[in-house]
């Protein structure tokens, strides 16, 4: 809920070592997919505010205008 004064609400949930290991495997997989330039479409209401919408729509001009390509060496 929006309020005049910012408020932090903490929602504590227990996590096990297995949960952490599962998360790290998923994060590694997604990171490698992104590094390889693989972005799979998952359409939904969030598309309207996604920074990568021009990529999905194959709008090359808009991609050049709005996105920055970062190159790094491994």
27-55 pLDDT, tens digit each = 999 889 888 888 777 778 888 888 888 88
Residue 20's pLDDT band (cuts 50, 70, 90): very high
**What average pLDDT does the segment 8-15 reach?**
91
Q: What is the pLDDT of residue 9?
A: 87
pLDDT at 2 over 80: no
Per the domain annotation, does 74 fall within a domain? Answer: yes
Per the domain annotation, does 57 fall within a domain? Answer: yes
Structural domain harbouring 59 = 40-74
Per the domain annotation, does 62 fall within a domain? Answer: yes
- 50 CB contacts (<8 Å, ≥6 apart)? 56
The domain total for the chain is: 1
Per the domain annotation, does 73 fall within a domain? Answer: yes
Which comes out higher in pLDDT, residue 38 or 14?
Answer: 14
3-state SS record for 3-70: CCCCCCCCCCCCCCHHHHHHHHHHHHHHHHHHHCCCCCCCCCHHHHHCCCHHHHCCCHHHHHHHCCCC
Per the domain annotation, does 9 fall within a domain? Answer: no
**What average pLDDT does the segment 2-28 reach?**
91
Per the domain annotation, does 67 fall within a domain? Answer: yes
Sign of CA dihedral 18, 23, 28, 33: positive
Per the domain annotation, does 50 fall within a domain? Answer: yes
Per the domain annotation, does 15 fall within a domain? Answer: no
């Amino acid at each position: 809920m929006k309020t005049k004064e910012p408020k932090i609400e903490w929602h504590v949930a227990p996590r096990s070592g297995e949960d952490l290991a599962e998360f790290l495997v998923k994060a590694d997989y997604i990171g490698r997919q992104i590094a390889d330039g693989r972005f799979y479409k998952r359409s939904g209401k969030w598309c309207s505010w996604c920074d990568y919408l021009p990529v999905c729509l194959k709008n090359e001009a808009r991609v050049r205008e709005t996105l920055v390509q970062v190159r790094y060496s491994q």
